[in-house]
């Protein structure tokens, strides 16, 4: 049986959270002399930002909850999803004692945050098909394992992880959180249901999503974390009070009124992803274009380093993953605008 209290670092539940200035009075009218703000205004003509933002981000959560099929109390918002990645490790892993399990090749911040927090990072490589090596994953998990990180669709490989395998991990890891990072979920197509639909079944499940990809708001730095009310309460207990800035909150609220535009951008990206994949497959220097459920393609070239450098010389910048185990010879290429994708293909054709 999973028990959150037993996997938290011992001091966490007795922490007193930073009490932000306006906890006792939640009204918007009044003379506010409690937070040492500059009452006179702001040093920018772009708006008034002299007051601290809502530490609970209530307006966004109220609008987001029905869209995601969860309650407000099941949502944590972070300064990018990178913030909950770090907070989840800090809430659970005793430095020098506990471990996390990651499944490379995968997103880099799980390991960076693990290392930063002096936590052992156990690596169980994905199979050649970029799926879980389930027996190896299950045997890597022990009573000191506090978080298992599963990225689906996975970065940099682009594929979804088999849900049946994720279920097995969720069932087996009774003394760990299982985080399913769905940063690229919107590009996986309508048949794929988010793991947020499974939160009631699995008290150890945490789902990450972000405004940085399909919503087109990477510069805002806004990540979403969905989990049980108890897990979200812990994240709120340990977060810095004003972790989401006022412009970010305002712009995210506005974005939530533009769901149709987001859907259209996703559809356009998917159409371009197919066109780009076809264009790449026709090139003689390309060995393999991996199937993608994300907004990028993993592509194996005859000589990836040479292609990478020649693309840079033409001011086309992609991500070189050729030194990453299981991605040997591969570049990761984001789907761009139609014109950008044409430019990439034209440069690659001129190299060939």
Distance CA(179)–CA(32), nearest Å, equals: 40
- Residue choice 8, 159, 180, 181 for contact with ligand PMP (CB under 6 A): 181
50, 42 Cβ separation under 8 angstroms: yes
Shortest reach from residue 169's CB to ligand PMP, in Å: 17
Please tell me whether residue 295 binds ligand PMP under the rule CB under 6 A. no
Regarding 104 and contact with ligand PMP (CB under 6 A), the answer is no
Q: Is 110 in the site for ligand PMP (CB under 6 A)?
A: no
Smallest distance from ligand PMP to CB 222, Å: 7
Beta carbons of 275 and 341 less than 8 angstroms apart: yes
Distances (CA, A) of 229 to 148, 233, 276, 330: 20, 6, 42, 41
Q: Scanning the structure block, which residue is given the tokens 């076809």? A: 278
Conformation bin of residue 158: beta by default, left when phi > 0, alpha when psi is -120 to 50: left
**Under rule CB under 6 A, residue 80 binds ligand PMP:** yes
**Which of positions 216-235 make contact with ligand PMP (CB under 6 A)?**
218, 223
**Residue 212 in the binding site for ligand PMP (CB under 6 A):** yes
Closest CA to 82 of 239, 292, 188, 192: 239
151 makes contact with ligand PMP (CB under 6 A): yes
Options 183, 206, 280, 304; binder of ligand PMP; rule CB under 6 A: 183
State which of residues 60, 61, 82, 215 lies at the interface with ligand PMP (CB under 6 A). Answer: 82
Q: Which of 309, 58, 335, 289 is nearest to 187 (CA)?
A: 335
Question: How many positions of this chain bind ligand PMP (CB under 6 A)?
Answer: 12
Whose Cβ is closer to ligand PMP: residue 85's or residue 124's? Answer: 85
The pair of three-digit structure tokens given for residue 190, joined into one six-digit string: 């309508």
Q: What six digits make up the tokens of 256?
A: 């939530």
Asked if 210 touches ligand PMP (CB under 6 A), the answer is yes
How, if at all, do strands 120-123 and 223-226 pair? unpaired
Nearest CA to 269 out of 316, 338, 193 is that of: 338
Q: Does the footprint of ligand PMP cover residue 76 (CB under 6 A)?
A: no
Q: Does 255 bind ligand PMP (CB under 6 A)?
A: no
Cross-strand pairs, 151: 181
The token pair that represents 236 in the structure block: 């709120």
Question: How many of the other CB atoms lie within 10 Å of CB of 65?
Answer: 16
Does the protein bind ligand PMP through residue 81 (CB under 6 A)? yes
Stretch that binds ligand PMP, among 46-54, 80-88, 116-124, 167-175 (CB under 6 A): 80-88
CB of 30 to ligand PMP, least distance (A): 35
Q: How far is the CB of 181 from ligand PMP (least distance, A)?
A: 5
- The reply on whether position 155 binds ligand PMP by CB under 6 A is yes
Task: Supply the minimum distance, in Å, between the C-beta of residue 158 and ligand PMP.
Answer: 11
Report residue 146 CA to chain centroid gap.
18
Residue numbers at the binding site for ligand PMP (CB under 6 A):
80-82, 107, 151, 155, 181, 183, 210, 212, 218, 223
């Amino acid at each position: 049986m999973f028990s959150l209290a037993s996997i938290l670092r011992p001091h966490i539940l007795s922490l007193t959270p930073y009490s932000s200035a306006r906890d006792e009075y939640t009204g918007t009218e009044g003379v506010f002399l409690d937070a040492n703000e500059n009452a006179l205004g702001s040093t920018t003509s772009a708006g008034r930002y002299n007051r601290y933002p809502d530490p609970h981000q209530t307006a966004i959560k109220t609008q987001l909850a029905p869209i995601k099929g969860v309650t407000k109390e099941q949502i944590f918002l972070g300064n990018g999803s990178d913030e909950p990645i770090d907070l989840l490790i800090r809430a659970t892993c005793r430095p020098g004692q506990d471990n996390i399990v990651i499944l490379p090749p995968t997103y880099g911040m799980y390991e960076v945050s693990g290392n930063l927090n002096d936590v052992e990072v156990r690596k169980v490589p994905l199979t050649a098909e970029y799926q879980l090596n389930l027996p190896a994953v299950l045997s890597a998990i022990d009573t000191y394992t506090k978080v298992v990180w599963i990225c689906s669709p996975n970065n940099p490989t682009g594929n979804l992880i088999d849900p049946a395998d994720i279920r097995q991990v969720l069932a087996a890891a009774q003394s760990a959180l299982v985080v399913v990072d769905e940063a690229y979920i919107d590009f996986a197509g309508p048949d794929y249901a988010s793991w947020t639909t499974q939160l009631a079944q699995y008290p150890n499940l945490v789902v990450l999503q972000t405004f940085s990809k399909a919503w087109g708001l990477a510069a805002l730095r806004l990540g979403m974390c969905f989990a049980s009310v108890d897990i979200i309460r812990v994240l709120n207990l340990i977060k810095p009070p004003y972790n989401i800035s006022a412009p970010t909150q305002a712009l995210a609220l506005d974005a939530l009124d533009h769901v149709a535009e987001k859907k259209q951008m996703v559809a356009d990206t998917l159409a371009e992803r197919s066109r780009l994949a076809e264009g790449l497959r026709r090139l003689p220097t390309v060995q393999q274009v991996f199937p993608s459920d994300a907004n990028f393609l993993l592509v194996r070239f005859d000589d990836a380093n040479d292609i990478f450098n020649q693309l840079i010389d033409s001011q086309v910048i992609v991500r070189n993953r050729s030194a990453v185990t299981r991605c040997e010879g591969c570049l990761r290429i984001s789907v761009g605008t139609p014109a950008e994708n044409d430019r990439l293909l034209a440069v690659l054709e001129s190299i060939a």
